[in-house]
Structure 1
């Protein structure tokens, strides 16, 4: 496997999303043989089981992009102690109809950022429960819960201002890359 393709699902639609910044930081720290593809989830219809007979084009696009990837990276904020509805909807669409789970068997990881003290820890646990059911081999350690105390921690291009945060994220990236290489088909 020459280049490893990672499908990145960011659970925030906000233009200045701190989770998108976190994803960009991880991308910048990854080796050149890892290609990050950001999967668009803002245009997806709400999942409805009636789709199962005739899947909508946006759902097919999502499924195709997940299936074309070697691994997945979920970057989630925390909304009311759980994952955002837009991210859950994307997961539901990509894992349906029954028997066509686009995530099955893929290696993955969950990270996230929040302005809160727990830095998306509860949302990540919620997401890990969903991913376990969907047969995503999820990296357990290190856990990445980033608290954004100010706007300068990570900029829009993924530059990390704090040396300690950059070192911590590099440790995550190194473990994630090794995980993906060990588990990718």
Structure 2
């Protein structure tokens, strides 16, 4: 395959989200044959099984974008020791109705950043549990619980020197994971 399309799902809606910044900076660490596209999830209706017969256009768009991708990259904050509701809602919408799971079989990376020292460890673990049920092969190692401290990003929005080697290593493993499972 000459080009790998990666669907990036950021679990935060905040304009200046650290996780959106991380997603953008990580994409710059990817190889030339990987194209990273952040998917929109802020316009999805709350998942309601009554709507399975006629899903909203925004849900159909998301499902189409996920299906067109060769890999997934989840970049999530941690809210109350779990995944943000907006991320869970996006996952639920694109996995339904039963038997029409857009996520199935797509290799994924899970990462996130937080101002807390533990990063997003609990959110990532919960997300991995959800993805396992949805038949998404998620990269297990290396794990990356990124502490959003000063210097994580440089003035240009790139990964700062103190974290660049570690996150480049994470990206290299992710690329190999996608190529192995796509």
**Structure 1 residues 36-55: aligned runs within 5 Å:** 36-55=36-55
Hey, what does 2:31 align to over in structure 1?
31
Equivalent residue, structure 1, for 2:175: 177
Distance 1:178 1:157 in 2: 27
Structure 1 pair 115/75, CA: closer, same or farther in 2 (3 Å)? same
Q: Distance in 2 between matches of 1:35 and 1:149?
A: 27
Return closer, same or farther for 1:156/1:145 CA change in 2, 3 Å cut-off.
farther
Give ranges in structure 1 of 5+ residues lacking alignment. none
Counterpart in the other structure of 1:62: 62
Q: What TM-score, normalized to structure 1? A: 0.95
**Counterparts of 1:47 and 1:107, CA distance in 2:** 24
In the aligned structure 2, how far is the partner of 1:79 from the partner of 1:47? 19
Alpha-carbon distance in structure 2 between the residues aligned to 1:56 and 1:183: 30
Shift, 1:157, TM fit: 5.4
Determine helix, strand or coil for the equivalent of 1:111.
Answer: strand
* SS in structure 2 of the partner of residue 53 of structure 1: coil
RMSD over aligned Cα atoms: 1.1
Q: Where do 5+ consecutive residues of structure 2 fail to align?
A: none
Contact 1:67 1:102 in 2 (8 A): yes
Matches of 1:160 and 1:72, distance apart in 2 = 20
| Counterpart secondary structure, 1:36 | strand
Correspondences of 1:106-121 after superposition (within 5 Å) = 106-121=106-121
Residue 149 of structure 1 is matched in structure 2 by 149
Shift of 1:3: 0.5
Once residues 54 and 7 of structure 1 are traced to their aligned partners in structure 2, the CA distance between those partners, rounded to angstroms, is: 24
Maintained 8 Å contact 1:66/1:103? yes
**What is the number of residues matched between the two proteins?**
182
Task: Give CA-to-partner distance per residue, 1:110-136, whole Å, 9 cap, x none.
Answer: 000001111000000000000000000
* Matches of 1:65 and 1:157, distance apart in 2: 28
Structure 2 length normalisation: TM-score? 0.97
